[in-house]
Amino acid sequence: SQQGEEDPQALSIQEGENATMNCSYKTSINNLQWYRQNSGRGLVHLILIRSNEREKHSGRLRVTLDTSKKSSSLLITASRAADTASYFCATDAIDYKLSFGAGTTVTVRA
């Protein structure tokens, strides 16, 4: 299986702090995507990084990809209460279906 697995499972931080979560996967990928899910709601696409990219930024988000280690990280800088959510990595291989990890639940305390 090429499923992504996030680490840590849960993260609690103070507003204004940075949140870092990691994702590991098992097989070669075309790209890796990060999604956010507020409790009981839909999946919101955050960022996609292609297998030939090493780092990507979008607003307060920074994603890195290390294909040699089969791992990715998502950094949220200057966190806000609204960032409280579950974050999932999803890997895409040649067959275009996404394999999701179990997610990291982030709680940002005011």
Partner 1 sequence: EPEVTQTPSHQVTQMGQEVILRCVPISNHLYFYWYRQILGQKVEFLVSFYNNEISEKSEIFDDQFSVERPDGSNFTLKIRSTKLEDSAMYFCASSETGGFGYTFGSGTRLTVV
For partner 1, the closer of residues 85 and 103 by Cβ is 103
For partner 1, the closer of residues 15 and 56 by Cβ is 56
Nearest distance from C-beta of residue 48 to partner 1, angstroms: 7
Nearest distance from C-beta of residue 100 to partner 1, angstroms: 4
For partner 1, the closer of residues 94 and 110 by Cβ is 94
The tokens of 50 are what?
């292609």
Nearest distance from C-beta of residue 53 to partner 1, angstroms: 13
Residues that bind partner 1 (CB under 8 A): 3, 30-31, 33, 35, 40-45, 48, 88, 90, 92, 95-103
Torsion, Cα 67 58 47 74, to 10 degrees, reads 50
For partner 1, the closer of residues 54 and 97 by Cβ is 97
